[in-house]
């Protein structure tokens, strides 16, 4: 048998072996593109990101026996300039960079991702903690407790845990447990141990709820409780957040209320937040409307009003934008 024939047979054998395996693997590209025109709280007119633009690569391989390997790489960027969000401060894969396993036990990931608390709290804000104009959560939740005070190239990170292990349990009778923690100490002044976070969620029928606790590597702590009730085209929600700094007696308590109502392709939104920090009381009021042009494209209008104890921090912001998910 000639060498070329052997080579051809060998290639055919390799391909026949590889093809079934590759057929059980899947890689997807997804993301959100968002931009709008708005007047910010400091009375400047801007064109830019009102929500968050991101691009994600995700994949899964079926390992057999109900076990799957997963990965996700996601970066956030400003659509108006094309630059990475927080350019020079945040890592390129700012949003998430994880690899993991999924099975009957739930899912385990390692890398960088939203902590257990931050990955779940968005469900209890009409704007999903995702709108710089209207979201009460954006301005008042977890106010004094960054997830890590130095993991963004030396700058504070609100939400994501680097060098982390993340676990999401299966859902049992409507309950799901989410855990995250880091075995590493971040090298930064004031660190007093390792950060961790836990969230217990309930979602069944018309009712949803959440109880969460987070401690960062500096010893700052946050407790979060929230609930939501859905009826017909409407939903109402409330949340309570208590954040406190390890060094000193500084603390902040926030209560937020929200509601949504769907009329055809339009979702109307309203929100309110009250934050108490030492002797200072801050109020936040907001309204908005999302109109779905399709399953992927949305036009929206947002209005927010800060009524803060110190007048310099008060103001009104409003704007319109468009987002496209893919």
Q: Residues near 79 by Cβ (< 8 Å), separated by ≥ 6? A: 33, 34, 35, 48, 49, 53
Q: What is the pLDDT of residue 5?
A: 39
Pick left, alpha or beta for residue 264 (phi over 0 → left; psi -120 to 50 → alpha; otherwise beta).
Answer: left
Q: If we measure between CA atoms, which residue out of 114, 107, 117 comes closest to residue 199?
A: 117
Q: Which residue has the higher pLDDT, 113 or 156?
A: 113
Q: Which DSSP symbol is given to 220?
A: -
3-class state of residue 183 by DSSP: coil
Tell me what the mean pLDDT of segment 266-270 comes to: 98
pTM above 0.85, yes or no: yes
pLDDT band at 185 (very low <50, low <70, confident <90, very high): confident
Q: What is the pLDDT of residue 304?
A: 98
Q: What is the 3-state secondary structure (H, E, C) of 91-153?
A: CCCCCEEEEEEEECCEEEEEEEEECCCHHHHHHHCCCCCCCCCCCHHHHHCCCCCCCEEEEEC
pLDDT, tens digit, 9 for 90 and up, residues 136-184: 999 999 999 999 988 888 888 999 999 999 999 999 999 999 999 999 8
Residue 244 · residue 220 · CB < 8 Å: yes
Can you read off the two tokens belonging to residue 70? 């997963």
Can you read off the two tokens belonging to residue 84? 């990475």
**CATH superfamily of this structure's domain 103-325:** Porin (2.40.160.10)
DSSP E strands in the chain: the ranges are: 25-39, 45-48, 53-64, 67-77, 96-103, 106-114, 148-152, 155-157, 160-168, 175-181, 196-204, 207-215, 221-231, 234-244, 251-263, 266-277, 280-292, 297-307, 315-325
Q: What is the pLDDT of residue 247?
A: 78
Task: Return d(Cα 167, Cα 77) in angstroms, integer.
Answer: 27
Task: Return d(Cα 257, Cα 223) in angstroms, integer.
Answer: 17
3-class state of residue 192 by DSSP: coil
pLDDT band at 187 (very low <50, low <70, confident <90, very high): low
The CA–CA distances, whole Å, from 265 to 127, 256, 301 equal 16, 26, 14
pLDDT, tens digit, 9 for 90 and up, residues 89-103: 899 999 999 999 999
Q: What is the pLDDT of residue 189?
A: 58
pLDDT band at 19 (very low <50, low <70, confident <90, very high): very low
Domain positions in the chain are 103-325
Residue 158 · residue 115 · CB < 8 Å: no
- % residues pLDDT > 90 (the chain): 80
Query: In sequence order, which ranges of the chain are alpha helices (DSSP H)?
Result: 3-23, 118-121, 136-140
Largest CA distance in the chain: 90
């Amino acid at each position: 048998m000639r060498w070329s024939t052997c080579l051809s047979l060998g290639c055919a054998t390799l391909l026949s072996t590889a093809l079934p395996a590759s057929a059980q693997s899947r890689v997807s590209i997804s993301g959100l593109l968002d931009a709008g025109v708005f007047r910010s709280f400091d009375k400047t007119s801007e064109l830019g990101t009102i929500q968050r633009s991101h691009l994600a690569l995700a994949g899964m391989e079926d390992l057999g026996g109900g076990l799957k390997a997963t990965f996700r790489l996601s970066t956030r960027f400003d659509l108006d300039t094309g630059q990475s969000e927080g350019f020079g401060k945040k890592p390129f894969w700012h949003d998430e960079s994880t690899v993991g396993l999924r099975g009957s036990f739930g899912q385990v990931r390692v890398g960088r991702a939203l902590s257990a608390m931050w990955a779940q709290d968005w469900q209890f804000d009409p704007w999903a903690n995702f709108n710089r104009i209207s979201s009460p959560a954006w301005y008042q939740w977890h106010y004094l407790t960054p997830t890590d005070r130095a993991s963004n190239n030396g700058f504070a990170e609100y939400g994501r845990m680097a060098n982390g292990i993340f676990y999401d349990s299966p859902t049992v009778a409507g309950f799901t447990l989410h855990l995250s923690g880091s075995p590493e100490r971040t090298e930064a002044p004031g660190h007093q141990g390792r950060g961790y976070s836990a969230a217990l969620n309930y979602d069944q029928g018309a009712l949803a709820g959440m109880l969460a606790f987070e401690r960062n590597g500096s010893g700052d702590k946050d407790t979060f409780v929230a609930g939501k009730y859905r009826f017909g085209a409407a939903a109402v929600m409330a949340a309570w957040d208590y954040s406190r700094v390890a060094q000193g007696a500084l603390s902040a308590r926030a209560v937020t209320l929200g509601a949504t109502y769907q009329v055809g392709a339009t979702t109307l939104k309203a929100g309110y937040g009250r934050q108490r920090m030492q002797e200072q009381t801050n109020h936040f009021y907001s309204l908005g409307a999302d109109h779905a042009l399709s399953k992927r494209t949305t036009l929206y209008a947002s209005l927010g009003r800060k009524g803060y104890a110190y007048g310099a921090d008060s103001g009104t912001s409003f704007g319109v934008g468009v987002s496209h998910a893919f």
